[in-house]
Chains A and B, each alone.
Chain A
Amino acid sequence: MTALRARAPLAGVGLLIAVFAVFFLLPFAGLLERGLDGGAWEAMTSETALDALALSLWTSALSLAIAVVAGTPVAYWLAHARFPGKGAVEALIDLPIVLPPTIAGVALLTAFGRKGLLGAPLDDWFGLTLGFSTVAVIMAQLFVGAPFYVRAARAGFAGVDAQYERVAHTLGASRLRAFARIALPLSWPSLAAGAALCWARALGELGATLIFAGNLRGETQTMPLAILSAFERADGLTAAVALAILLLAVALVALAAFWLLAARGRGAA
């Protein structure tokens, strides 16, 4: 009797988990089922799809690279510095994470667009237009993706006992060497997780790109935009599904490769 009473809530929890799992898995099953339709392969290998895929891959990789190069020192500094208003600075850096992407797009446009705060003088003096270009794609991805990296890296650096680097200094290590030999390897898992999130966010970027960079094939049409365009055409669902599967597959392969590399990096460190 007691055993039965003890098991009843467990069964309830089990059912809840099962429903939850189905909710998350069923859409993938739907994608695959549709993808097996005729015409999917054709859509995947169409010039539009391959152009969008190539653009997506190289822009998101470049966004990630910029986020890592610029974000790592920022994260390290935030993890160690103490100054008044630090909380506000951190909140500001986290802001794009919670900001709806469409707002990010509008905000970028008001700053760097042809009539924007910085965009207008750039256009007037140098004839330089950032909006609706491939540069704008990268800027949109960086804007929404980099905070994920900075946030994770900051937490990673803050988690390394400061005593290790102090001791490294007493053993003759310069700041750079202490960083490379101590802080970097010890916070590696956080950096890797942050980089993966940043890249995934950049790859999936739609709203900000659409508003700030537009949807020009070969120039600003990344995979998410290509999927949207396909979907908006009459009977475009098959093509949209095909592109979605393609993006999903590429993302999975890239993430798997990334984790393998990260695991090896941790082992070697």
Chain B
Amino acid sequence: MTLDFAARARLGGFSYDARFEAGAEIVVLFGHSGAGKSLTLQLIAGLLRPDVGRIAIGGEPVFDSNAGLNLPPQERRIGYVVQDLALFPHMTVAENVAFGMSGADRERRLGGLLDLMRLRDYRDRKPRSLSGGQQQRAALARALAREASLLLLDEPFSALDESLRVELRRELIRLRSELDLSVIFVTHDLREAHLVADRLAVFDAGRLLQFGGRERVFRQPADRRVAELTGVANILRGRVAAARGGELAIEAGGASLRAPAPDGWRPAEGEAVDVAIRAERVNLRRLDADDPEQPNLVRGSVREELAYGATHTLRFESALGQPVEVEIAARPYEVLGVAGQKAWTLELPPEDLHVMPVSPESSPSLSASATTA
């Protein structure tokens, strides 16, 4: 099963523009609320109509503005779980799940689905008497009942407790490979995105900022905004001092950083760049006064500290002239004796630095407010 999606739309004051595709995989649409994730699902389902674009499910176009084609929702073979679930309140769980079913072995398949979602004991209950988690399972079962090979899931696990979430994510990943499913999965939860995504589409303000493999998007965000959205705590503004071979020398504040040149893009000497490094990738070293000035080693002193139990987050004032956030696990935190020691050397390993172009609309002041918020 495949999905090809390209759409532009203007809805009131909101402009939307995105293009991506999915094979038999889980594509996570990620972004803040109002970014256009749910809208994307509605466009695919046919509940909203793009101004321009082409949408094909399994190679068959369901919308094509050039050809004047726009199939109604009931003729698009999809399973769709909307965010507010919209279980039919006047029907029992079994009636809800069976609503989209056709064919002879309905009863058997219904039983199978109710078992799968562990709803057998609730089959004759009305939705309002179910817990939030049971309602989500019922909505998921109803969407699966159509046996569509494209599943659209809008925050489907948000009301579930953690153990059930873990189980259903695993179930989803199993279903995807067993049933040759394409799953478009909307979430604003970074961890969930990381767990279920094969590929990741990052949305912001109606635009698809980056679409790619999960690791690539997380490790190599396209620009400052994607880095911010995907939880990169440190985005440092610098200037390219030298570019030779596969390596860049970048001046930031009073320090210099070495970083690998990014794929498919070569900044010129003197060009301003953004350098991303995740908080957990920064290493702490004991300060040694005799240390020679080396690239990627930066002096800093602790300004703020937050203890999360398993990890500690430290905010440093650094020689880069910009604050640096460091996340360190509880054990090394104790072994190093971080508590009570203010001055440290911060190591920013070159392989963990990612150089991004400075996009016109992303100003450093914007990122400063985002990282401290």
Residues of A within 8 A of B (CB): 161, 163-164, 166-174, 181-182, 185-186, 269
Contact = CB atoms under 8 A, between A and B. Distances in A.
Contact of A167 (B72, B86, B102, B145): B86
| Residues of B contacting A: mostly | loop
A173 B90 contact: no
A182 B100 contact: no
A171 B139 CA distance: 11
A181 B80 contact: no
A131 to B, nearest CB: 45
Interface string B55-98: 00000000000000000111010111010101011100000000
B19 interface: no
Given A170-B47, A181-B99, A186-B90, A163 B74 contact: no
Contact of B142 (A163, A164, A169, A171): A171
Query: Which 9 residue pairs across A and B have the least CB separation, nearest first?
Result: A171-B100, A169-B73, A170-B80, A163-B86, A167-B86, A169-B74, A170-B73, A185-B90, A172-B74
B261 interface: no
30 contacts: A161-B86, A163-B84, A163-B86, A164-B88, A164-B89, A166-B47, A166-B86, A167-B80, A167-B82, A168-B88, A169-B47, A169-B72, A169-B74, A170-B45, A170-B46, A170-B47, A170-B76, A170-B80, A171-B80, A171-B100, A171-B143, A171-B145, A172-B74, A173-B74, A173-B99, A174-B74, A181-B88, A181-B99, A185-B90, A186-B89
Contacts of A269: 90
Contacts of B142: 171
B146 interface: yes
A166 B90 contact: no
B74 A166 contact: no
A185 B46 CA distance: 25
Contacts of B99: 168, 171, 173, 181
**Interface size classification for chain B:** 20 to 34
Given A169-B73, A172-B102, A172-B146, A163 B88 contact: no
Interface of B: 45-47, 72-74, 76, 78-80, 82, 84, 86, 88-90, 99-100, 102, 142-143, 145-146
B93 to A, nearest CB: 15
Contacts of A171: 74, 80, 99-100, 142-143, 145-146
B22 to A, nearest CB: 18
B43 to A, nearest CB: 12
A163 B99 CA distance: 15
A185 B95 CA distance: 14
B200 to A, nearest CB: 24
Nearest to A186: B90
Nearest to A266: B90
A181 B79 CA distance: 19
A80 B144 CA distance: 29
Contacts of A169: 46-47, 72-74
A38 to B, nearest CB: 53
Contacts of B73: 166, 169-170
Nearest to A169: B73
A164 B86 contact: yes
Residue among A161, A169, A185, A186 with the highest chain B CB neighbour number at 10 A: A169
Contacts of B90: 185-186, 269
Contacts of A174: 74
Contacts of A186: 89-90
A163 B142 CA distance: 15
A224 B354 CA distance: 88
